[in-house]
Structure formats: structure tokens, C-alpha cells
Amino acid sequence: MKASFLLPPHKHADSRQANIFANRSALVLNELLLSNEKRFTIQSLSADAGVSLGLAHKVVTELVREGIVVVSGVRTAKKYDLAKPELLLRHWIEAYDITKKCRIRNYASGANLEELYKKLAGSGIASSVTLALHSAVSAEGHKFTNLETLELYVNSPRVRQKLEKSLHLEPQERGYQVLLIEPYYSDLLERAGLEKKGFKISPPLLTFLDLYHFPLRGQEQAEALLRKHPALNKIHKYLSSKNSG
């Protein structure tokens, strides 16, 4: 069952000239969807997203072509408005699926969830991983499920091997107690990630996108997160108003 806040599936053309959903480009999309400023310039977007002017311009040009962003003014006086954030979010959901874009490893452990967190905190490498999926939601106090699992973004084989040893992890093919995930959006994790009680946490919009296609109660948690998280709530309200209209 698809999340109720989204419009019906959109069959957009396969003529997109640039991959605006790549790792680095995601910094621009994240800024556009979460910024409190509706109107922007390429210069301000570049600075706020932490990317080059060229990349910001490439992403915005594609969004203008698709009617998601509208432009006014000429030359150096150009101003841009994000006119259809719901369409941008929908395109991003269609383009990104964590189960297809990320290498995910499943593990079992003899420890319970509380013990796993204690082992992680004492491992000396907690700062090298990021809580993801349901673990990220739980860390921010927006948990919607009763799952007792630990999901971590791990950006280094060396760190993964240390985690396997520190947490006494045993690989398994089906089901899991612990997931170790190689991130696709590593730049977004680095720039927009959060921290709470000594643990790094996946940024809220990425957590939403990750959950949306995640097979274990992901979509219902994604929808709940969009409603409850302060950074995402305005997107939910805007989408709801579009649907009701």
C-alpha cells in the first residue's frame, strides 16, 4: 500500500539530461526541500548546500526543464522558486531505492538491542558509523514500530570488520538483528547528519527516503516520520494540501 500523502504515480519522461539524484547532487535537493526560503539564487543555493556553482546550476537547470522550479529575471538577476516540491520528492522516491543502491549485509548477534548499543559505544568506532533506518528514527524519538534491530551506515571495510568483531556478528541470509549498510549518499550523511547521545544519525530526509522502499515496515514508518519530524512536517503539510486540493 502506497503512502497516502503522495500523489498517484507520475510517468515522467526518460529524457532527463542530468542525474540530479546522484550522491553530490543530493546536497542540492536536500537544501531545496528543507530550506525555509522558497525563493533563491544559484549563488545562495550553492553556498547553503555546500556545492559548486556549476553543480547547483546543473541541478536547477534540470528542475526548471521539468517544471519543478520556475525562474524569473534575466542573466545575473535571475531568481528561482521551488514551485512543485511534491513532484521533486516523488521523482526522488522513484529514482532512489536503498535496497538497490546500497550494499546491505545482514547479521545475527547473541546480544539484545541494549547490549548492542553498549558494545557499540565502547568499541571506539561509534563515531565512524551512522544510525540508519529504524535506528535513526528511534534515536530521534519518532519510532513507529516495535522492532528491536540495529541498522548502521558503515563507509569503510575496516570499520565494518571491527564492528563484526566488537558486536560478535554472524552473517545470515534472511532476517537480521543488525544491518551494516554501505551508503550511496555518503556526502549527504557527512554534511547533513545529526548527532545525539554520542551517536551519529542519518539526516531526516535521507532516513525517510531509505525507509520508503525498505521491506521491513519501512513505508509505514516513512509516512509516520514525515508527519512527526519537525524538519519534515512542513513537507507533509504541503503535500497534504496539494492532495486535498
CA 38 – CA 80 distance, rounded (Å): 8
Q: For the domain that residue 32 is a member of, what is the CATH number?
A: 1.10.10.10
Q: What is the pLDDT of residue 3?
A: 43
Is 204 part of a structural domain of the chain?
yes
pLDDT tens digits for 199-228?
Answer: 999 999 999 999 999 998 899 999 999 988
Domains in the chain: how many in total? Answer: 2
Residues 172 and 78 in one domain: no
Predicted confidence (pLDDT) at residue 9 exceeds the cutoff of 80: no
Same domain? 73 vs 194 = no
Q: Tell whether the model's pLDDT for residue 10 goes beyond 70.
A: no
Domain contains 14: no
Three-state DSSP class for 106?
strand
Asked if the structure places residue 17 within a domain, the reply is no
Tell me the mean pLDDT in the region 37-64. Answer: 95
Q: In percent, how much of the chain has pLDDT > 90?
A: 73
Domain holding 68, by residue range, is 26-89
Whether 16 shows a pLDDT value over 90: the answer reads no
Give 82's contacts (C-beta < 8 A, 6+ positions apart). 32, 33, 38, 40, 63, 68, 69, 88
- Look at residue 47 and tell me whether its pLDDT is greater than 90: yes
Examine residue 197 and state whether it is found in any structural domain, yes or no: yes
User: Would residue 240 count as lying in a domain?
Assistant: no
